[in-house]
Amino acid sequence: MSQKRKLLVHIDALYRSALYLTKNENSADDLVQETYLKAFKSLQDDKEIRNVKAWLFRILMNTFINKYRKDKREPSLVDFDSVEAFHESIQEEVVAPSILDGESVLETLVDDDIKMALKALPDDFRMVILLSTVEGFSYKEISKIVNCPVGTVMSRIYRGRKMLKEKLAGYAQKYGFK
C-alpha cells in the first residue's frame, strides 16, 4: 500500500470530524482536502510518523483553527461569563440530577437530536468530544492534537459532556419528559 493510501484510510474519520466542526459539507470537503495536501507534503520530508491518525487530526484541527476561526474572527472561543468554575460544576451536579437519568429518556431521543446538540456546542468543546468519545484518542493524544495541557482537555471533556447532556435534556422535555 502506498504511503498516500495509508493516510487515506482515515478519510472517513477526518471527514466526519470536519463536518461536525465546520457544520457545512462544502467546508468539510475543503478542510479534509487541505489536511491531506498538507500531510502529503510533509510525507516528502521523510519524517517518521508514529501515530498517523493523531498526526492527521492535528493537521485537521490546526487547519480548522487557523482558517475557519480566522474567517470568523474567533467567535467560537468560550464565552467566559457563561462558564462557571470547573470545580463548582462538579458540586452542582450532585444536587441537580439530569433528566437523562430517567428511564427510556435516552432511547426516545433521535439521532438528529444528538447531531443538533453536538453542533450547538462551542468549538473547543465539540473538538474534544469528537476526539475522545468518537475517535477514542487518549487525553494525552488529544492534548497534543489541540495543543493544550491535559488538564484543559479533561476540563473541556467534562464541561462539553455536561453541556451536551443539558441540551439533550432540553430536547427530552419537548417529548414530554420532566
Partner 1 sequence: MNCNDVRKYLYAFLDDELDVEKNIEVLGHSNICCGCGRRMEKERLLQKRVRETVCEVKAPAYLEQMILKRTEEKPNFFISVVKKLMSERRLVSLAGIAAAIIMTVYFFAIPGNLKKDDFLYLAESKYHDYMMMPQLDLDIRSQDQEVIVEYLRKQTNSSIVLPEIRDNAKLIGAAMSEINGVKVSQVFYMHDGTPVSLMIICKPDSGSEDSKNVDFSGMKEILVDEKVVYYDDKGFCGHCKIMGWKEFGNEYVVVSKLNSDEMIKILKKA
Positions in the binding site for partner 1 (CB under 8 A): 4, 8, 11-12, 14-16, 19-20, 29, 32-33, 36-37, 40, 77-80, 82-83, 85-87, 90, 93-94, 100-101, 106, 109, 111, 114-115, 118, 124, 129-130, 132-134, 138-139, 147-149, 151-152, 154-159, 161, 164-165, 168
Cβ proximity to partner 1: between 5 and 47 the closer is: 5
Please state the closest distance from residue 107 (CB atom) to partner 1, in A.
Answer: 9
The amino acid sitting at 4 is K
Give the nearest distance from C-beta 175 to partner 1 in angstroms. 15
* DSSP secondary structure letters along 6-48: HHHTTHHHHHHHHHHHH-SHHHHHHHHHHHHHHHHHHHTTT--
Q: Which three cell numbers stand for residue 14?
A: 477526518
Are 106 and 100 spatial neighbours (Cβ–Cβ below 8 Å)?
A: yes
